[in-house]
Structure 1
Amino acid sequence: MIIESITRNDIEICAETLKKAYNQAPWNYHWSSEDAVSYLSEYMCQAQFTGFTLYHEQKLAGAVFAHIKTWWTGKQLYIDELFIAPHLQKKGFGRILIEHMEKYALEQKLTTMTLMTHKFMPAMKFYENINFIHAQPLVILFKPI
């Protein structure tokens, strides 16, 4: 396994892996290649962007896109996106990326790692199993337009 910092050259392969991961059950999203490239590229434009790819047997197994932000408790690592190729899910690759992010956060002297996920999707159980805490009073709101 190889973990490397994400560069602009990784965006297209990451976008294709994101599409494969999310355009199937249980998410059943409808990512186009163009939108997936734009989506991930926008994360890279953030001033404090950090991200990593995970390669297994010379193929992209997954990636994590994140950024550092200031919070009242100190600097935190906010995970914007984490995805694993469908055929490699439930094999420990997500855990490997999260552990890498924890190590990175410690090296950067960050106080917390934060992320958002869908409560009724398998990712919720994954994050709870690796000691993420559900911030019960927080609610994400949106308004369709």
Structure 2
Amino acid sequence: MTQEIRAITEDVLNACTDLYIEVFNQEPWNDSWTEDTALKRLRHISLTPGFVGFSLYEKGELAGFVAGYREQWFDSEHFDLVEFCIRTGRQGNGYGSALLHHLEQHLSHIGVSRIYLLTMRAGQAEAFYKKNNYDVNGHMVMMGKKLGAGKS
């Protein structure tokens, strides 16, 4: 596996957008991202104060990326891992673990003490994070409320 990990910059957001649509519009997510909505999402994340993102390339081709942002808490900085995807044909080959490990090392070096994320329960993503020593947080629960007549 010949790979290179780089910080995400504005000039790679379009490539990340294409990959995001490719990954999340198929199983198991089956979302309906468009180029416009996916680019808006990734651009919004990248413009958030405390943004940290890395892209992984193999032989010059984008194979995956991870993105989120640092947040100040009363005792330390935490990181919200907001988006993470690996090209479908490359999943299960160590790319995700390599990218996640790179992110964790970087965050550790800049003083972040904890990473939080949301993912689909009982699927491949949850299994991936558990394999990489992430735990289900017993102290927190995800809650939501649908507003107005918008899509859920």
For structure 2, the 5+ residue unaligned runs are 148-152
Q: Work out whether residues 21 and 86 of structure 1, in 8 Å CA contact, stay in contact via their aligned partners in 2.
A: yes
- Which secondary structure does the structure 1 equivalent of 2:112 belong to? coil
**Corresponding residue pairs, total:** 145
Q: Work out whether residues 73 and 111 of structure 1, in 8 Å CA contact, stay in contact via their aligned partners in 2.
A: no
Q: Distance in 2 between matches of 1:114 and 1:72?
A: 16
- 1:14 is matched with 16
> TM-score normalised to the size of structure 2?
0.91
Q: Distance in 1 between matches of 2:130 and 2:43?
A: 28
Deviation string for 1:85-104 (max 9, x for gaps)? 11111111110111001110
- 1:132 is matched with 134
Q: Work out whether residues 51 and 65 of structure 1, in 8 Å CA contact, stay in contact via their aligned partners in 2.
A: yes
- Which secondary structure does the structure 2 equivalent of 1:28 belong to? coil
Structure 1 runs, 4 residues or longer, greater than 4 Å off: none
Q: Distance in 1 between matches of 2:79 and 2:28?
A: 27
- 1:32 is matched with 34
The share of aligned pairs that are identical, in percent, is 26
- Which secondary structure does the structure 1 equivalent of 2:77 belong to? strand
2:123 to 109, 114, 121: 121
Give the aligned residue type for 2:136. H
> TM-score normalised to the size of structure 1?
0.95
Deviation string for 1:3-59 (max 9, x for gaps)? 111111111110110111111111111111110000000001111111010001110
Task: Supply the RMSD in Å over aligned alpha carbons.
Answer: 1.1
Q: Distance in 1 between matches of 2:128 and 2:115?
A: 15
Q: How does 1:22-61 map to 2 (within 5 A)?
A: 22-61=24-63
1:92 to 94, 97, 107: 94
2:103 to 101, 106, 111: 101
- 2:67 is matched with 65
Following superposition, the deviation at residue 144 of structure 1 comes to 2.3
For structure 1, the 5+ residue unaligned runs are none
Following superposition, the deviation at residue 121 of structure 1 comes to 2.4
Following superposition, the deviation at residue 109 of structure 1 comes to 1.7
**Does residue 75 of structure 1 match 2:77?**
yes
